[in-house]
């Protein structure tokens, strides 16, 4: 009888546990992707749009029905609010998105796997040196068609003040052409002059 319990535990264990190295391999293998996204902010507002990502360092969130844009050109992440004619900028490496955009993803010092199920892997990332960035819960689904067998499904960002923003991806296309993607933006402050 004592032998049955350890044997049952072995049989119930997953064939191979996902490691942070597996997640890093998936991120590194994602040289480009295009997707539809839906973002739900802390205020409950739902904003759909298109996402383009080119590693390292480039991302563009083009919102369908909101006068704003989030874009990174490889060095700087800019949030552009066309309604109030304001631009905010940060170095990509000093934002939570650096985890997804880094040339060489090194997750070990700032991440851990919080869920490893047959269909879903979730990673919790938090930079202990920059707690003001908050936390990022990154979700992957298992897919043989995705780099490293893990398809980026979305993430939830929690800022240092407890504000929550969730992004869900759909129609993800890996290796998508980035020709014609604008990594810049029209500065609304210049139009206001």
Which residues lie across from 6 on neighbouring strands?
Answer: none
* Contact in structure between 142 and 15 (CB atoms under 8 Å): no
pLDDT one digit per residue (tens) for the chain, 193 residues: 444 434 333 333 343 578 999 999 999 999 999 999 999 998 999 999 999 999 999 999 999 989 999 999 999 999 999 999 999 999 998 888 888 999 998 898 889 999 999 999 999 999 888 888 889 999 999 999 999 999 999 999 998 788 899 999 999 999 999 998 999 998 998 865 5
Cα separation, 32 vs 113, in Å, equals: 24
Correct CATH for 31-175 of 3.40.50.2300, 3.30.200.20, 3.40.190.10, 2.50.20.10? 2.50.20.10
* Backbone φ/ψ region at 169: left (φ over 0), alpha (ψ -120 to 50), beta: beta
Cα separation, 70 vs 37, in Å, equals: 13
The residues spanned by each domain of the chain are 31-175
* Contact in structure between 167 and 153 (CB atoms under 8 Å): no
Which residues lie across from 156 on neighbouring strands?
Answer: 137, 166
* Contact in structure between 47 and 37 (CB atoms under 8 Å): no
Whole-model pTM?
0.85
Cα separation, 72 vs 183, in Å, equals: 6
Q: What is the widest separation between alpha-carbon atoms in the chain?
A: 82
Q: Express each pLDDT in 156-193 by its tens digit.
A: 999 878 889 999 999 999 999 999 899 999 899 886 55
């Amino acid at each position: 009888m004592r032998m049955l319990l350890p044997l049952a535990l072995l049989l119930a264990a997953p064939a191979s546990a996902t490691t942070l190295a597996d997640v890093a391999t998936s991120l590194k293998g994602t040289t480009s992707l295009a997707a539809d996204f839906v973002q739900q902010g802390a205020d409950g507002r739902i904003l759909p749009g298109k996402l383009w990502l080119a590693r390292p360092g480039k991302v563009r969130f083009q919102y369908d029905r909101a006068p704003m844009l989030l874009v990174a050109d490889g060095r700087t992440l800019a949030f552009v609010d066309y309604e109030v004619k304001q631009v905010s900028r940060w170095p990509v490496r000093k934002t939570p998105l650096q985890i997804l955009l880094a040339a060489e993803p090194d997750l070990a010092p700032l991440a851990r796997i919080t869920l490893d199920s047959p269909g879903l892997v979730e990673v919790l990332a938090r930079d202990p040196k920059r707690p003001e960035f908050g936390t990022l819960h990154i979700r992957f689904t298992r897919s043989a068609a995705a780099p490293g067998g893990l398809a980026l499904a979305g993430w939830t960002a929690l800022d240092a003040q407890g504000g929550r923003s969730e992004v869900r991806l759909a129609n993800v296309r890996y290796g998508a052409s980035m020709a014609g993607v604008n990594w810049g933006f029209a500065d609304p402050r210049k139009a206001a002059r």
